[in-house]
Amino acid sequence: MSYNGPEQADRELIGGRYRLGERLGQGGMGVVRRATDELLGRPVAVKTLALESGADPESALREARVVAQVRHPHVIVVHDVVEHEGRPALVMELVDGGSLADRLAAGEVLSPCETARLGLDLLDALSAAHARDVLHRDVKPANVLLEKGTGRAVLTDFGIASLPGASTLSRTGVFIGTPEYTAPERMQGGDAGPASDLWSLGALLCAAATGTSPFRRDSIGAVLHAIVYEEIRPSERMGPLVPVVQGLLERDPALRLGAAEARRLLAACAAGEEPAPPVPAPTLREAAAPATATVVRDRPTAPDPAVPAAVPDAATGGRGSGSRRPKALPFVAAAVAVCAAAATVAVLVAMKDEPPAGAAGRPSGTASAPAATTPPPTTSASAPPSASAQPAGTVPDSETDRYPSEEVTDERGFTLAVPYGAIRSTDGERVFYTSPDGAVRVGVRIRPIPPGGAIGVMRASDENGPATNPGYRDSLVQETTHKGLPAARWEFTWNGFTGAEGPRHTIDVCWEKDGTLYDVWVSAPVGRSEEDRIRFDKALESFRATGG
């Protein structure tokens, strides 16, 4: 609830013992006032329903019942329910200090360590609620109170929470919740679980450390488009928090960072340590992969110690926490259509170095890549599989020991060589294969030849480079041929997804054949330039169209 400053206390006595004082805040359905419990002589807060809100009086009782199920130091305490103006009013503990939203509105932000400690408090509160099968469904700065002196964070306003056995609060024609902190699966009207609250926590941590939600836009349609489709790239100001935020903002709830792993990462950040990257169980990763996707087998490999492991970015498919692109939301179709129409030209020249934007990168639109990008731990220094032991479709690799690869046949009608154990993701138009350590991304796009042909597409992409790739530099666009066909080549360097990962280099070739434009690119950290070029040459040379 937003703080509106003190107002003249009306000193009304309700419930025979609670003397109302000044207003502390007001939300969509209720007003919170400071009050005094005259029977016990203690300060309390009283939440009354706003008459103009149209809220069902039963909602206050619902909230009281929900909170009564969850007893935790970081969850607001409801002391009593009394009648006020014919409606129930909640008597709660008074957390003196204002909300996180108040602090952000005043221009203050939290340091990464402070944000991590806040995250731990809220994660514990949510875990306590989830253990009781209670989903908060409205985790946002206005619903987090920060106690003066102690710094204790308290999660409040369970007014739209879901409780087992209770009906779900809803109002016809009204979106219940706060869009810019709402998980994409809830936007789609799908089943929401504890992972939905964790998405909201990830967005809240971004706001706490930077001052605003990563999905803040000028209109509701733009907000929904950002959550469902756009790249999610946490600010470098978040420092060591970037991996945990990327993991929480994974668009696919099956791949989203869980509470236990999030707690480990946050605890390390709160202690001022650099957290080890999250390591998902390979079996879980394979189980979460889309049934229609070609999942490439994991092969234990030792990560390159010279290259920091990166967590895929949520909206870019390979660069972050991407997940499978959600279907269009029925109730926002018109708004999204407007956004999509405006972005048609931009999509034509969209950056190559990103996985699918809706497939969570984690941007949470990323492809179906898991929240973590480090490979599973190596159990033994085993030699690469022999040709006879390799699964069908694998290409024997003379560089096996250094850059093992295998050939995959994709459902989109092509085959090519990708890093061994790569993870497939898609944003609907593009397909990405990301190496197990998350560092190397192979992308493919097949479409009708647009106006200007291959060279026109590359020149337009180059012009748009500074807008799509921060730190865009050292670009080169050349008209060329590929296997005797008209083609264009584009190379560039940019700042990369995170400061920890460092700059990245992308090599891209597209060519024309029989009315179709084929596009293959590979991106890798600048420190792995040799691997970047070798993998690109393998991908380009091995590419074959197999379907119409």
- The Cα–Cα gap between 429 and 406 comes to 23
Residue 388: exposure state from Cβ atoms within 10 A (0-12, 13-18, ≥19): exposed
Output the pLDDT for position 344.
Answer: 29
What's the confidence (pLDDT) of residue 182?
A: 92
Same domain, 220 and 108: yes
Please give the Cα distance from 75 to 138 (Å, whole number): 14
Confidence of residue 299 (pLDDT cuts 50, 70, 90): very low
Q: Which domain does 296 fall in, by range?
A: 100-165+176-348
Residues 82 and 113 in one domain: no
Query: Given this model, what pLDDT does residue 59 score?
Result: 62
| Tokens of residue 349, six digits | 């020249």
Q: Do 58 and 132 lie in a common domain?
A: no
Number of domains the chain contains:
3
Closest CA relative to residue 250, chosen from 139, 363, 328: 363
Asked if 65 and 152 sit in the same domain, the reply is: no
Radius of gyration (C-alpha) of the chain in whole angstroms: 26
Q: Are 535 and 450 within one domain? A: yes
Structure-token match 């969509």, residue found: 28
Whether 41 and 56 share a structural domain: yes
Per-residue pLDDT band for 338 (boundaries 50, 70, 90) equals: very low
Strand order in the sheet with 544-545: 405-410, 414-419, 544-545
Query: Do 68 and 107 fall into the same domain?
Result: no
Residue 162 vs residue 387, higher pLDDT: 162
Mean pLDDT for the chain?
74
Q: Is the pLDDT of residue 159 over 90?
A: no
Which of 283, 318, 348 lies at the terminal end of a domain, its last residue?
A: 348
Q: Is 86 exposed, middle or buried (0-12, 13-18, 19+ CB in 10 A)?
A: exposed
Residue with token string 């009315």: 515
Statement: residue 142 has pLDDT above 60: yes
Lowest mean pLDDT among 65-74, 106-115, 456-465: 65-74
CATH of the domain at 45: 3.30.200.20
Q: Are residues 160 and 75 in the same domain?
A: no
d(CA 297, CA 384): 13
Rounded to an integer, the average pLDDT of 307-325 is 35
**Beta strands 405-410 and 144-146, pairing class:** unpaired
Query: Cβ of 344: how many Cβ atoms within 10 Å?
Result: 8
Beta bridge partners of 364: none
Q: Which residues are within 8 A (CB) of 440 and not within 5 positions of it... i.e. 6 or more apart?
A: 419, 434, 522, 523, 524, 528, 531, 532, 535
| Residue bearing tokens 């597409």 | 457
- Phi, psi values for residue 179, rounded to 5°: -50, -45
pLDDT (0 to 100) of residue 290: 35
Cα distance between residue 423 and residue 231, in whole Å:
19
Tell me which long-range contacts 28-31 makes (C-beta under 8 A, separation of at least 24): 28/53, 29/53, 29/55, 29/59, 29/159, 30/1, 30/55, 30/60, 30/159
By the 8 A CB rule, do 491 and 505 touch?
A: yes
How far apart are the two ends of the chain, measured CA to CA in Å?
Answer: 55
Per DSSP, the residues of 112-144 read HHHHHHHHHHHHHHHHHHHHTT-B----SGGGE
- In this predicted structure, what is the pLDDT of residue 278? 63
Q: What are the tens digits of pLDDT across the range 239-296?
A: 899 999 999 999 999 899 999 999 999 999 998 876 666 654 333 333 333 333 333 4
Q: Indicate whether 333 pLDDT > 60.
A: no
Q: What is the residue whose two structure tokens read 């229609």?
A: 292
Q: Is residue 395 part of a domain?
A: no
Residues 266 and 127 occupy one common structural domain? yes
In a domain, 186, yes or no: yes
pLDDT of residue 375: 35
Across residues 345-368, what is the average pLDDT?
35
Task: Note whether residue 399 is domain-resident.
Answer: no
**Percent above pLDDT 70 for the chain:** 67
Whether residue 267 lies inside any domain: the answer is yes
Which amino acid is located at 76 in the chain?
Answer: I
Tell me the CATH number at 277: 1.10.510.10
Report the pLDDT value the prediction gives residue 10, as an integer from 0 to 100.
55
354 domain residue, yes or no? no
3-state secondary structure of 337: helix
Q: Are 220 and 174 in contact (CB under 8 A)?
A: no
For residue 281, is it within any domain? yes
Q: What span, in angstroms and rounded, lies between the C-alpha atoms of 241 and 119?
A: 10
Residues 72 and 131 placed together within one structural domain of the fold:
no
Q: Are 85 and 104 in the same domain? A: no
Average pLDDT estimate for 124-143: 90
Q: Which residues pair with 512 in a beta bridge?
A: 517
pLDDT at 27: 62
CATH number assigned to the domain comprising residue 523: 3.40.1000.10
Concerning whether 138 is annotated as a catalytic residue, the answer is yes
Within-domain flag for 70: yes
156 part of a folded domain:
yes
Say if residues 202 and 364 touch (Cβ distance below 8 Å). yes
The mean-pLDDT minimum among 97-101, 229-233, 325-329 falls in 325-329
Q: Is the pTM of this model over 0.85?
A: no
Of 93, 123, 155, the domain-final residue: 93
Residues 319 and 342 in one domain: yes
CA distance 314 to 188: 17
Nearest CA among 395, 448, 417, 436 for reference residue 543: 417
Taking Cα atoms as reference points, which of 219, 222, 269, 217 lies closest to residue 248? Answer: 269
CA angle 404-422-225, nearest 5°?
150
Stretch 495-513: mean pLDDT, rounded?
84
Write down which residue in 93, 118, 133 finishes a domain. 93
d(CA 198, CA 205): 10
Predicted confidence band at 149 (pLDDT cuts at 50, 70, 90)?
confident
Catalytic residue among 138, 313, 437, 519: 138
Q: CA-to-CA distance for 76 and 129, rounded, in angstroms? A: 12
